[in-house]
Structure 1
Amino acid sequence: MSFKFEKLNIWQKAMDFGEDINGVSKKFPKEELYNLSSQIKRAADSIALNISEGAIEQSNPEFKKFIGYSIRSLAEVVTCLYKAKLREYITNEKFQQLYNESYLLMNMMIAFKKQLK
Protein backbone atom coordinates (compact mmCIF):
# COMPACT_ATOMS: atom_id res chain seq x y z
CA MET A 1 0.00 0.00 0.00
CA SER A 2 1.24 3.48 -0.78
CA PHE A 3 0.09 7.05 -1.01
CA LYS A 4 -0.83 8.40 -4.44
CA PHE A 5 1.94 11.00 -4.39
CA GLU A 6 4.67 8.41 -3.79
CA LYS A 7 4.16 7.15 -7.34
CA LEU A 8 4.58 10.61 -8.90
CA ASN A 9 7.92 11.25 -10.62
CA ILE A 10 7.70 14.93 -9.71
CA TRP A 11 7.38 14.07 -6.02
CA GLN A 12 10.32 11.63 -6.21
CA LYS A 13 12.48 14.22 -8.04
CA ALA A 14 11.43 16.92 -5.56
CA MET A 15 12.44 14.67 -2.66
CA ASP A 16 15.87 14.04 -4.19
CA PHE A 17 16.30 17.72 -5.02
CA GLY A 18 15.44 18.69 -1.43
CA GLU A 19 18.15 16.36 -0.15
CA ASP A 20 20.67 17.83 -2.62
CA ILE A 21 19.84 21.33 -1.38
CA ASN A 22 20.06 20.22 2.25
CA GLY A 23 23.55 18.83 1.63
CA VAL A 24 24.74 22.02 -0.06
CA SER A 25 23.29 24.28 2.62
CA LYS A 26 25.24 22.44 5.33
CA LYS A 27 28.38 23.94 3.81
CA PHE A 28 27.16 27.53 4.15
CA PRO A 29 28.84 29.62 6.88
CA LYS A 30 27.47 29.35 10.42
CA GLU A 31 26.27 32.97 10.23
CA GLU A 32 23.75 31.84 7.58
CA LEU A 33 22.26 29.10 9.77
CA TYR A 34 19.08 31.07 10.51
CA ASN A 35 19.09 33.03 7.27
CA LEU A 36 19.95 31.68 3.84
CA SER A 37 20.54 28.07 5.00
CA SER A 38 17.17 27.91 6.68
CA GLN A 39 15.39 29.68 3.84
CA ILE A 40 16.74 27.49 1.05
CA LYS A 41 16.04 24.26 2.98
CA ARG A 42 12.47 25.28 3.83
CA ALA A 43 11.78 26.31 0.23
CA ALA A 44 13.27 23.09 -1.16
CA ASP A 45 11.29 20.94 1.28
CA SER A 46 8.15 22.88 0.43
CA ILE A 47 8.31 21.64 -3.17
CA ALA A 48 7.67 17.99 -2.26
CA LEU A 49 5.41 18.91 0.66
CA ASN A 50 3.03 20.85 -1.58
CA ILE A 51 2.96 18.07 -4.18
CA SER A 52 2.00 15.51 -1.53
CA GLU A 53 -0.57 17.80 0.08
CA GLY A 54 -2.18 18.54 -3.27
CA ALA A 55 -2.33 14.87 -4.23
CA ILE A 56 -4.36 13.78 -1.20
CA GLU A 57 -8.12 14.08 -1.61
CA GLN A 58 -8.01 17.23 -3.67
CA SER A 59 -9.89 18.06 -6.84
CA ASN A 60 -7.76 18.56 -9.94
CA PRO A 61 -8.19 22.36 -9.81
CA GLU A 62 -7.07 22.29 -6.17
CA PHE A 63 -4.15 19.98 -7.02
CA LYS A 64 -3.11 22.42 -9.78
CA LYS A 65 -3.02 25.17 -7.17
CA PHE A 66 -0.65 23.12 -4.99
CA ILE A 67 1.59 22.36 -7.98
CA GLY A 68 1.69 26.12 -8.49
CA TYR A 69 2.85 26.55 -4.89
CA SER A 70 5.58 23.96 -5.56
CA ILE A 71 6.74 25.86 -8.63
CA ARG A 72 6.90 29.09 -6.63
CA SER A 73 8.94 27.36 -3.92
CA LEU A 74 11.31 26.14 -6.62
CA ALA A 75 11.72 29.72 -7.86
CA GLU A 76 12.58 30.71 -4.29
CA VAL A 77 15.25 27.99 -4.18
CA VAL A 78 16.75 29.25 -7.44
CA THR A 79 16.93 32.78 -6.03
CA CYS A 80 18.64 31.44 -2.91
CA LEU A 81 21.10 29.58 -5.14
CA TYR A 82 21.93 32.87 -6.86
CA LYS A 83 22.49 34.46 -3.44
CA ALA A 84 24.73 31.56 -2.41
CA LYS A 85 26.76 31.90 -5.60
CA LEU A 86 27.12 35.67 -5.23
CA ARG A 87 28.28 35.22 -1.63
CA GLU A 88 30.69 32.53 -2.81
CA TYR A 89 29.15 29.77 -0.68
CA ILE A 90 28.90 27.53 -3.75
CA THR A 91 31.02 27.24 -6.87
CA ASN A 92 29.78 28.20 -10.30
CA GLU A 93 29.83 24.51 -11.21
CA LYS A 94 27.65 23.53 -8.23
CA PHE A 95 25.32 26.43 -8.99
CA GLN A 96 24.98 25.31 -12.61
CA GLN A 97 24.31 21.69 -11.60
CA LEU A 98 21.55 22.68 -9.14
CA TYR A 99 20.18 25.28 -11.55
CA ASN A 100 19.89 22.60 -14.26
CA GLU A 101 18.15 20.23 -11.82
CA SER A 102 15.79 23.07 -10.88
CA TYR A 103 14.97 23.80 -14.49
CA LEU A 104 14.25 20.14 -15.23
CA LEU A 105 12.03 19.83 -12.17
CA MET A 106 10.16 23.02 -13.06
CA ASN A 107 9.45 21.75 -16.57
CA MET A 108 8.27 18.41 -15.19
CA MET A 109 5.89 20.16 -12.77
CA ILE A 110 4.54 22.48 -15.46
CA ALA A 111 3.88 19.53 -17.78
CA PHE A 112 2.20 17.61 -14.97
CA LYS A 113 0.07 20.62 -14.06
CA LYS A 114 -1.09 20.97 -17.68
CA GLN A 115 -2.26 17.35 -17.68
CA LEU A 116 -4.59 17.95 -14.76
CA LYS A 117 -8.06 18.79 -16.04
Structure 2
Amino acid sequence: MKDYKYLVWQKAHQLTLDVYKLSAKYPKEEIFNLVSQIKRLSRSIATHIAEGCGRKSDKDFARFLYISFGSANELEYQILLSKDLNFISPEEFEIL
Protein backbone atom coordinates (compact mmCIF):
# COMPACT_ATOMS: atom_id res chain seq x y z
CA MET A 1 0.00 0.00 0.00
CA LYS A 2 1.32 3.38 -1.03
CA ASP A 3 1.18 6.46 1.17
CA TYR A 4 -1.41 8.73 -0.41
CA LYS A 5 -0.28 11.94 1.27
CA TYR A 6 1.77 13.10 -1.69
CA LEU A 7 2.12 16.80 -2.42
CA VAL A 8 -0.65 16.60 -5.03
CA TRP A 9 -2.98 14.99 -2.46
CA GLN A 10 -2.12 17.73 0.07
CA LYS A 11 -3.00 20.39 -2.50
CA ALA A 12 -6.26 18.60 -3.34
CA HIS A 13 -7.11 18.41 0.35
CA GLN A 14 -6.42 22.13 0.80
CA LEU A 15 -8.56 22.87 -2.25
CA THR A 16 -11.42 20.95 -0.63
CA LEU A 17 -11.06 22.96 2.57
CA ASP A 18 -11.04 26.21 0.56
CA VAL A 19 -14.10 25.18 -1.45
CA TYR A 20 -16.00 24.39 1.73
CA LYS A 21 -15.15 27.80 3.20
CA LEU A 22 -16.10 29.72 0.05
CA SER A 23 -19.29 27.77 -0.57
CA ALA A 24 -20.74 29.07 2.69
CA LYS A 25 -21.32 32.43 0.99
CA TYR A 26 -23.32 31.03 -1.95
CA PRO A 27 -27.04 31.80 -2.12
CA LYS A 28 -29.19 29.41 -0.10
CA GLU A 29 -31.03 28.25 -3.22
CA GLU A 30 -27.73 26.82 -4.53
CA ILE A 31 -27.13 24.53 -1.52
CA PHE A 32 -28.55 21.46 -3.27
CA ASN A 33 -27.32 22.47 -6.71
CA LEU A 34 -23.97 24.13 -7.32
CA VAL A 35 -22.72 23.97 -3.72
CA SER A 36 -23.44 20.27 -3.47
CA GLN A 37 -21.71 19.66 -6.80
CA ILE A 38 -18.53 21.62 -6.06
CA LYS A 39 -18.16 20.04 -2.63
CA ARG A 40 -18.57 16.56 -4.10
CA LEU A 41 -16.09 17.25 -6.89
CA SER A 42 -13.49 18.77 -4.58
CA ARG A 43 -13.72 15.76 -2.24
CA SER A 44 -13.52 13.40 -5.18
CA ILE A 45 -10.06 14.60 -6.25
CA ALA A 46 -8.27 13.73 -3.01
CA THR A 47 -10.48 10.70 -2.39
CA HIS A 48 -9.56 9.06 -5.69
CA ILE A 49 -5.85 9.70 -5.10
CA ALA A 50 -6.14 8.01 -1.72
CA GLU A 51 -8.17 5.13 -3.12
CA GLY A 52 -5.71 4.59 -5.97
CA CYS A 53 -2.84 4.33 -3.49
CA GLY A 54 -4.62 1.41 -1.87
CA ARG A 55 -4.73 -0.58 -5.10
CA LYS A 56 -2.27 -3.37 -5.79
CA SER A 57 -1.02 -2.36 -9.21
CA ASP A 58 0.40 0.77 -10.77
CA LYS A 59 -2.18 0.38 -13.54
CA ASP A 60 -5.02 0.63 -11.02
CA PHE A 61 -3.30 3.57 -9.33
CA ALA A 62 -3.01 5.36 -12.69
CA ARG A 63 -6.70 4.72 -13.41
CA PHE A 64 -7.69 6.45 -10.17
CA LEU A 65 -5.37 9.36 -10.95
CA TYR A 66 -7.18 9.77 -14.29
CA ILE A 67 -10.53 9.77 -12.48
CA SER A 68 -9.18 12.37 -10.07
CA PHE A 69 -7.99 14.50 -12.99
CA GLY A 70 -11.46 14.31 -14.54
CA SER A 71 -12.99 15.53 -11.27
CA ALA A 72 -10.48 18.39 -11.20
CA ASN A 73 -11.55 19.46 -14.69
CA GLU A 74 -15.23 19.33 -13.74
CA LEU A 75 -14.53 21.33 -10.61
CA GLU A 76 -12.63 23.93 -12.60
CA TYR A 77 -15.72 24.52 -14.73
CA GLN A 78 -18.03 24.70 -11.69
CA ILE A 79 -15.73 27.29 -10.12
CA LEU A 80 -15.68 29.27 -13.39
CA LEU A 81 -19.48 29.14 -13.43
CA SER A 82 -19.51 30.34 -9.82
CA LYS A 83 -17.38 33.33 -10.79
CA ASP A 84 -19.52 34.15 -13.81
CA LEU A 85 -22.65 33.99 -11.63
CA ASN A 86 -20.91 36.35 -9.16
CA PHE A 87 -21.02 33.83 -6.32
CA ILE A 88 -17.25 34.21 -5.92
CA SER A 89 -14.95 37.06 -6.86
CA PRO A 90 -12.42 36.93 -9.70
CA GLU A 91 -9.70 36.94 -7.01
CA GLU A 92 -11.24 33.94 -5.26
CA PHE A 93 -11.53 32.20 -8.61
CA GLU A 94 -7.81 32.74 -9.28
CA ILE A 95 -6.87 31.43 -5.83
CA LEU A 96 -8.85 28.24 -6.35
Q: TM-score when scaled to structure 1?
A: 0.77
Counterpart amino acid of residue 30 in structure 1: K
What are the ranges of 5 or more consecutive residues in structure 2 without an aligned counterpart?
A: none
Counterpart amino acid of residue 28 in structure 1: Y
Correspondence 1:51 to 2:55: no
Distance in structure 1 (CA, Å) of the matches to 2:74 and 2:49: 16
Correspondence for 1:71 among 69, 72, 76: 69
Superposed displacement of residue 57, structure 1: 3.0
Correspondence 1:96 to 2:71: no
Distance in structure 2 (CA, Å) of the matches to 1:11 and 1:58: 19
| CA-to-aligned-CA distance 1:43-101 (integer Å, 9 cap, x gap) | 00000000000001331011001000111111111111111011100111111121xxx
Distance in structure 1 (CA, Å) of the matches to 2:55 and 2:77: 32
Distance in structure 2 (CA, Å) of the matches to 1:14 and 1:62: 20
**Percent identical residues:** 37
Structure 1 stretches (4+) deviating beyond 2 angstroms? none
Correspondence for 1:62 among 60, 66, 84: 60
Correspondence for 1:29 among 10, 24, 27: 27
What residue in structure 1 maps to residue 83 of structure 2?
A: 85
| SS of corresponding position for 2:4 | helix
Q: TM-score when scaled to structure 2?
A: 0.93
CA RMSD, Structure 1 to Structure 2 (Å): 1.1
Aligned residues: 95
